[in-house]
Structure 1
Amino acid sequence: MPPKSKKINESEEDEQKLQAIVLTDSYQTRFMPLTSIKPRCLLPLANVPLIEYTLEFLAQSNHVSEVYLMCSSHAEQIQEYLDDSKWVSPSSPFKKLQTITSHESRSVGDAMRDIDARGIINGDFVLVSGDVVTNLDLGKVVKLHKLRKQQDRDYICTMVLKQASELHRSRSFIEPSCFILDKETNRCLYYQDIPPVDGAKSTVSIDPEVLDNVGEFTVKNDLIDCHVDICTPVVPTIFQENFDYQDLRTDWVKGVLTSDLLKKHIYAYITSHHYAARVESWQTYDGISQDVIERWSYPIVPERNMLSDQTYSYESPHVYKEHNIRLSQSSKLQSRVVIGADTFVGDGTSISGSVIGRGCHIGHDVTIENSYIWNGAVIGDGCIVRHSIVAAGAVVKSNAMLNSGSVIGFGVVIDKDVVVPNETKIVKTPIKTLQDSAMFMSSSEDEDSEDEDEVNHAVAKKNDVDGNPLDSSEVRDANVVGANGVGFLYEEEEDDEETNKGYSGIMYQMAQLNVSDVSVASTTVGAHHHGSKRKKRTYSTNSMYISGDEDGEEEEEEEEEDFHKEALATVERAMENNHDIDTALLELNTLRMSMNVTYHEVRLSTSTALVERVDHFIATDTLGVKDAVDKVFGQWSALFKRQVFEDSDQIDLLLIVQKLCCHLNESYRSMVFLFVLMQLYDAEVVEEDNVYLWWNDKESNTEEMRVVRDKAEKWIEWLQQAESDSEEDSEEDDE
């Protein structure tokens, strides 16, 4: 009798559990050319395939019994991966795990219509993208889902959204969105995507009738939409009845909310205490990778060893190593490094902010910064790799340089001494059209095995890094990969170019992106940030503003010029719109980290914007000299408190401001400089001793710089006299 009772209980429990639909395809080309060889859901993030993060999320909830993975491209690779995974073992938490190949699907809408036609859904289900990284407690969402079903007969879906800063580094700027919600219930009243428009402010237009019978509502554009939805069986039916619904949010959500016929309700579940984000672009790939390494997604961290054969251990500061790694004695693993098993790192090599896969060979005297080197890749002696991706099996020969935004495809060979320009993507074999590339679905039966092997694996021949030309020398574009290289320049489709416009360079050239050394998630994820300490920020000790004296290469000069332009616009926008100081500081720090410039450049751009603002007020007779300086520097000199950290920084700032004032109208430039100097001193941005050091510095007393010193000289004398009087008074008091 007891066994029978147990069987009944298990059956009831299974009935209460949900099904899950995992969309393994993004139906986009943002990760081309890599996704021409391997599906996005199998691309590695911190050396773990993306699909693992999604399945782990579903498994941890203990609320999902059946999982269906919808595949349109590379279905065979996905099936092969799952067949060898823990998810099909007897101990799997899922009662059923099945891939469904849907060759004709070209959008989420197509996939949902296919699901409805197959009759797969028999109850409530979780709809999730195969590129989600989250430590969300799905159980809380499911509980709220069931409650809303009881309370609202028109309820059909709950969307999971993550509260985050506008500049959160794992938030996509490709598809920013606006949600209008009922303040009391979080019922979604209206949705609109807000595509970025250069130089223009976005607006949201809404029919007033949508807000009828609504008390208070909120407009939210500070949410990360990780595409985790709890749905009722009505959802696929709505897609089936509306063939023009293609996108999940822009078409389906917006269509449901604005339909006079459907009259259905969609709610939002907003979390601020969990980590949740989608890897939907190069930008978010990097941001989420860094968040995982820095432990903001705890317990989703490398040493959890999500794959059964992984052996990662955690070392401070944020360094993760597997077993069987060969590190030369003089090699240096700086902070934020993940390095896989059977990898060799040579003498004098420095690695920071990067993920190195398994079986990689990193030569001697190599510099790798903020980059991702996948399994089996080879980096030759003396190479410099910055802000780049080197796919599995690729070879970068000695003394080559990969600049920001480089994507070296599977099996590509970069010849020695080759410099790969910014934002260059290289493939092993030419990709003619989107039809020829992204749609390498399962290979047809009559396709020859040699082609299939090249498409599905694309592993370069293993030869000496500095050896002779490879046998496949006929497949090369010498202008891109060098005389002995293998590969071709990948030119993006028009859709790709439009999608990635302004978001190139993986994420490092992006002005809007937050890639600070501490995730913005730190303000909300403290409870999950176990096992690590907040990193100590290190500051630049850059000194002296001397235009044109640096040995900077042309690339660095262009990067600094781009930064100056963006930073100038950022400060000007902050002043015009009267933003708060913290927002402006966050944007400036975002730019600094994304473009890899020094704090000197930040000080220069900030000072330029403030001095130009003062000059504008004076030149247009809007304000007098003192009032103009007091208005601008009185409010905005606080920006410098996050740009000036050492004595040399204070001197550098004074030299910058002095030089800028030298170019103002001679009738008031000396007075402007005097009042700015006084403001910086009063705001305690610069200290008295450093004022004297600046005053006596030869750079401040050149013929060019001397033109604004006359008025300041009297103030310096007064300052020295005041100090002298103070010392005398102190001595008298002591006596």
Structure 2
Amino acid sequence: MSSKKKKLEEKQPLQAVLICDSFNYRFMPLTRSKPRVLIPLLNVPLIDYSLKSLHSAGFDDVFLFCCSHSQQIKDHIKQWLASRANVSMNVQVFSSDSYASVGDVLRDLDGKGLIRHDFVLLFGDCVWNLQLKKYVDEHRNQIKNDKGCIMTLLFKQSSRERRSKSTEDQVLLFVDGTTNKLLLYDKLSKHGNKVNVNLSLFQENRNMKVYCNLQDTYIAICSVNVPSLFADNFDYETRDDFIRGILEQEDILGSTIYSRICESNTYATRVINPSAYEVVSLDILQRWSFPIVPDLEDKVCYQRHNIYRFCDVSLMMNSILEKNVAIGTYTTIGANAHIMNSVIGSSCKIGNNVKIEGAFLWNNVNVDDDCELRCCIIGENVHIKNGCTISEGSLISNDVVIGPNVTLKCRLIQTEPDDDDDKIDTNIVGSEGKGYLYRESEEIENINIWGLEKVSEADESWKSSGSELDDIEEEEEIDDTKIFYNEVLDSFQRGFDENVASENLILEVNSSKHAYNIPIKELGFLVTRAVLEMPKSLVESKSSGDYSSNLDSVLNKFTPVIKNYIKSAESQLIFLMAAEEFTLLHQLGGSVFYKILKFFYDKDILEEDVILQWYENTQPLPALLADCEFTLDDQLEFRRQKIVQAFVKWLQEAEEESSDN
């Protein structure tokens, strides 16, 4: 490659196209007076998450396209840029009443001639912490190998612990096992438990991978000719239309699409409906999205059990913030209130004896005494009077008054009527209420606005009369230690298979450590356990050799990782206890344990004084993973094995000889 061409490639700017319209009614009536990208998520306008992430990723140009409430978006972007003097990112906003789909935006983008290089296509309601530059570089390298590559789609592994209530973002993928070229793409929500696939797909692609446990991040790396392909085909209205069209006409167009599964410790999702709004809010509160957390974004007091208190919050006597709660500035919480899994905006007033669970209150909301709010979103300046119960997916728009003594279940209440003839129904909003029932559009008449399928009253009664076991299981606390351990295992497995640099693995472990609040003492134990688990995983996945024969290659690979976490005498003792517990658990015997000890002793990671201290002082082994608990007798019997005793005796003699000299 000539130096001139190389220099030109290095100068390619990072560009992003941010679509600010959802082209659906999922958040109505809340979005009647405000665009979705400006609704507050943990008291921050939704679009700010993408803008900050793009700026942190080093993007040069961001092009925003909007239709609904475009002036509000323009004003907000102007204020956002003015409040951040250090932002050098070029942000342009384009608006048009003719934008009715993603296809319309991309066709207009083609007409404007703004795109000269590969770009990132995403939506303004995305929340992510990906290193997008890395994926852009991978896409550009893919083009060198396949000139027809026009798009790389980013996906995330679905988490069993944090599975979304909605299947809208869960996808079915068939990809080439070698190149990750996309062969089939579809949404699982369309098919339920059965999918029809053409047999020729299997016959023509012997080395194929099938994924049905992935979530769409709605982020795509696009080549420069993607807008022109939209312009050439007006049947492409959505991004999914485009993907399916390219796959169906690959032989004719000569265009290909590739997939990329993001690392397990990253976060990327889209707030596509109120159900996703709830899930993403709780993810941020529980720090799954680290470093996108409230205490790093603003002046916030972060407390145990994921409690975030902004400035000047007043909490009255006997009020309980149980877990996963954010309270905005100048908000007052009355006596005997109980709040969990909820976000409360700024300047709110919560009365006495109020219960709030899974609810999201925006700014300036008044909730009077003896109210109960569950699974709902309450807009700005709403007043909920005494004795009201609001639950089961209700959305209350701005400036509405409810009550007193009213029960709302799965109701959508708005400020203005849909029809001039509509009157306030006091049976719904209460005798002092001010608001009107929102009439759902045809698009969502068969789907709960929270993104869940509607069920009949018979189904509801069946659910409520079921076993209490389901309720107990849902209320179980998520074991952060086990989730952290599994993520570290996944990182190490990928690091071994793909020969990832040790410093990158350490960064991944540290990132997960912060996300799950793992104490430093537990960290060394869990990292040691994960490294020792690797030979066992290799035996199970590759069916080659036994544990001992795979041990050397694993220990050599992960020595820099162990060395990073095992430094002090205390951390060495933790390492020895982790190795002892693992060897006991899997009945690997003294020879394997001796091999581990001797390896790290020779690498100067374990000191002889610490090994002798461990041998002479038996302590209970930590039960962090709760695999099995061993007694002191189990440990003593293990240490009496000849090969362990011989190694300890050798160390003792070496120490005595050193003392004599």
User: What interval of TM-score do these two structures reach, taking the shorter chain for normalisation?
Assistant: 0.5 to 0.7
Give CA-to-partner distance per residue, 1:389-419, whole Å, 9 cap, x none: 1111111011111122121111110021111
Question: 2:121 corresponds to which residue?
Answer: 127
Alpha-carbon distance in 2 for matches of 1:279, 1:116: 27
| 3-state SS, counterpart of residue 445 of structure 2 | helix
Shift of 1:128: 0.8
**What residue is the counterpart of 2:539 in the other structure?**
none
The equivalent residue for 1:430 is 417
Contact 1:164 1:224 in 2 (8 A): yes
From 22, 30, 41, give the equivalent of 2:18.
22
Equivalent position of 1:144 in the other structure: 138
Which residue number corresponds to residue 419 of structure 1?
407
Aligned counterpart, 1:518: 478
Is contact 2:404-2:431 (8 Å) kept? no
Please tell me the residue identity of whatever aligns with 1:267.
Answer: Y
1:327 maps onto 2:287 in alignment = no
Given that residues 393 and 449 in structure 2 are in contact (C-alpha distance below 8 angstroms), is that contact kept between their aligned partners in structure 1?
no
Q: Is the 8 A contact 1:298 1:530 kept in 2?
A: no
The letter of the residue matching 2:77 is L
- Alignment of 1:194 with 2:196, yes or no, is no
Query: Does the CA-based 8 Å contact 2:289-2:515 persist in structure 1?
Result: no
1:254 aligns to what SS in structure 2?
helix
Q: For residues 425-479 of structure 1, what are the alpha-carbon distances to aligned partners after superposition, in whole Å with 9 as ceiling and x for unaligned?
A: 11111235xxx9xxxxxxxxxxxxxxxxxxxxxxxxxxxxxxxxxxxxx962212
The amino acid that maps onto 1:263 is G
What stretches of structure 2 of length at least 5 have no aligned partner? 464-469, 489-508, 519-661
Secondary structure class of the residue paired with 1:387: strand
Q: 1:339: Cα distance to partner?
A: 0.4
Give the 3-state SS of the residue equivalent to 2:185 in structure 1. Answer: strand
Q: Distance in 1 between matches of 2:172 and 2:476?
A: 25
1:164 alignment partner in structure 2:
158
Match of 1:44 among 40, 44, 50: 40
- SS at 2:287's partner residue? coil
2:225 is the counterpart of 1:234: yes
- Identity within the alignment, %: 33
Please say if 1:269 is aligned against 2:260: yes
Measure, in 2, the Cα distance between the counterparts of 1:334 and 1:393. 25
Secondary structure of the structure 2 residue equivalent to 1:133: strand
The secondary structure found in structure 1 opposite 2:105 is: helix
* TM-score of the two chains, using structure 2 as the length reference: 0.67
Amino acid at match of 1:50: L
Shift of 1:150: 1.1
How many angstroms does 1:275 deviate by? 1.2
Deviations 1:463-517 (A, max 9, x none): xxxxxxxxxxx9622121112110011121121123438944999x999998975
In the alignment, structure 1 residue 220 sits paired with structure 2 residue 168: no
Report the counterpart of residue 602 of structure 2 in structure 1.
Answer: none
**Residues 537-548 of structure 1: pairs in structure 2 closer than 5 A:** none
**Alpha-carbon distance in 2 for matches of 1:61, 1:13:** 18
Could you tell me how far 1:60 is from its partner in structure 2? 1.7
Offset at 1:25?
0.8
Distance 1:19 1:156 in 2: 15
Q: What's the counterpart of residue 454 of structure 1?
A: none
Pairing 1:38-77 to 2, within 5 Å after superposition: 38-62=34-58, 64-77=59-72
With normalisation by structure 1, the TM-score equals 0.61
1:542-591 alpha-carbon deviations (Å, 9 max, x no partner): xxxxxxxxxxxxxxxxxxxxxxxxxxxxxxxxxxxxxxxxxxxxxxxxxx
Name the aligned partner's letter for residue 483 of structure 1. Answer: S
Output aligned runs, 1:222-621, within 5 Å.
222-249=213-240, 251-259=241-249, 260-271=251-262, 272-305=264-297, 310-420=298-408, 422-431=409-418, 476-500=424-448, 503-504=451-452, 517-518=477-478, 523-524=486-487, 527-531=510-514
* 1:62-81 CA distance string (max 9 Å, x none): 1x101011101111111111
Q: CA deviation at 1:170?
A: 3.9
Alignment partner, residue 80 of structure 1? 75
Cα 1:524–1:100 shift into 2, 3 Å: farther
Query: In structure 2, what residue type is equivalent to 1:53?
Result: Y
Tell me which amino acid in the other structure corresponds to 2:61. Answer: E
Q: Secondary structure at the match of 2:220?
A: strand
Deviation at 1:368, TM superposition (A): 0.7
Question: Alpha-carbon deviation of 1:519?
Answer: 9.1
Quote how far apart the aligned CAs of 1:303 are: 0.6
Residue 478 of structure 2 aligns with an amino acid whose one-letter code is V
CA contact (8 A) 2:173 2:182 kept: yes
One-letter code aligned to 2:511: H
How far is the alpha carbon of 1:29 from its aligned partner? Answer: 1.1
In structure 2, the CA distance between the partners of 1:505 and 1:317, relative to structure 1 (3 Å rule), is farther
Q: 1:178 aligns with which of 166, 172, 175?
A: 172
SS in 2 for 1:292: helix
Measure, in 1, the Cα distance between the counterparts of 2:453 and 2:329: 28
Counterpart of 2:247, as a letter, is L
Higher RCO (CA < 8 A, seq sep 6+) = 1
Instruction: Report the alpha carbon displacement of residue 193 of structure 1 after superposing the two structures with TM.
Output: 2.5
Matched residue, 1:34: 30
Provide the secondary structure at the position in 2 that maps to 1:70. strand
8 Å Cα contact 2:169-2:216 kept in structure 1 = no
Distance 1:166 1:15, change over 3 A: same
For 1:218 and 1:13, the matched residues in 2 are separated by: 33
Contact 2:447/2:453 (CA < 8 Å) preserved in 1? no
Conserved in 2, the CA contact under 8 Å of 1:363 and 1:382?
Answer: yes
Distance of 2:36 and 2:73 partners within structure 1: 10
1:529 deviation in Å? 3.8
Separation in structure 2 between the aligned mates of residue 73 and residue 366 of structure 1, nearest angstrom: 36
- Distance, in Å, in 1 between the alignment partners of 2:364 and 2:209 is 50
3-state SS in 1 of match to 2:31? helix
Matched residue pairs, number?
475
Hey, what's the Cα distance between the residues in 1 that align with 2:229 and 2:99? 17
Deviation at 1:34, TM superposition (A): 0.9
Please list the CA deviations of residues 590-618 of structure 1 after superposition, one character each: whole Å capped at 9, or x if unmatched. xxxxxxxxxxxxxxxxxxxxxxxxxxxxx
Instruction: Look up the match of 1:677.
Output: none
Are 2:27 and 2:273, in contact at CA under 8 Å, matched by a contact in 1?
yes
For 2:453 and 2:246, how far apart are their aligned partners in 1?
37
Gaps of 5+ in 1: 1-7, 437-473, 536-735
Superposition CA RMSD, Å: 3.1
- SS of the counterpart of 2:111? helix
Deviations 1:676-697 (A, max 9, x none): xxxxxxxxxxxxxxxxxxxxxx
The yes-or-no answer on 1:97 pairing with 2:87 is no
Query: Within 2, Cα distance between the matches of 1:111 and 1:38?
Result: 20
Q: Is the 8 A contact 2:393 2:450 kept in 1?
A: no
